[in-house]
A = this chain, B = another copy of it.
């Protein structure tokens, strides 16, 4: 367990969540938090547990998953630098999701009680928390719509288009995490993910290992029918 080192601060401070708040208050949060490195495939917390920390993934990759009816499903693949499990911290309710590292990860742990306390004191932090929750809410509305209305290959197509934009190069990028995790995120089996990639090959998508190339964006869009409302910025 280490306290937050100087080198880490800038990228964490640059997060929308902490960016606009009072410097002293931010310092207070950071000095009460600690950075920890976790090995791959380690369970960080399980659904049902009391939410003792807000997590900020600084480096690595984390999977959030939910369990129900004896099976599990990936809810989110968290890429750095992002906070996660904010809603549980804000409501002071047990986690609905579990988390595990997919690769070795450096994570900032902010004590939930401290976070809740400073939120109450700092209007900018509260505002940012509110925004983050609202944006997250809308992301889930999209995800649920996607799951209810689109079929698997279309979901994959949309995911690839969005991921391309998010990662900076809409034409070509690397998939994050194993394909089986991606399959679970998209609500399908690994077998069907393979077949879905096969389908998309005829609609302007190239894949080789985890390298994805979007050869014909219009063609892919025509097939996967992206949401008319464009994605929210951050």
CB closest residue in chain B, given A227: B68
Q: Is A73 an interface residue (CB 8 A)?
A: yes
Chain A at the B interface: mostly helix, strand, loop or mixed? helix
Within the complex, which residue of B95, B136, B149 is in contact with A137, where a contact is CB–CB below 8 Å? B136
Q: Is A66 an interface residue (CB 8 A)?
A: yes
Copies of this chain present in the complex amount to 2
A83-B137 Cα distance, complex, nearest whole Å: 15
Contact of A48 with B143 in the complex, beta carbons under 8 Å: no
Name the B residues within 8 Å of A134 (CB-CB).
86-87, 90-91, 133
Within the complex, which residue of B133, B137, B148, B150 is in contact with A187, where a contact is CB–CB below 8 Å? B148
Q: Is A41 an interface residue (CB 8 A)?
A: no
Shortest distance between the CB of A153 and any CB in chain B (Å): 11
Interface string of A67-95 (1 = CB under 8 A from B): 11111110100000000001110110111
A47-B229 Cα distance, complex, nearest whole Å: 8
Query: Given contacts A90-B130, A140-B141, A147-B147, could you give 15 more A-B pairs where the C-beta distance is less than 8 Å?
Result: A66-B141, A67-B149, A68-B146, A69-B150, A70-B225, A73-B148, A75-B144, A86-B134, A87-B138, A91-B131, A95-B229, A120-B127, A133-B134, A137-B140, A140-B140
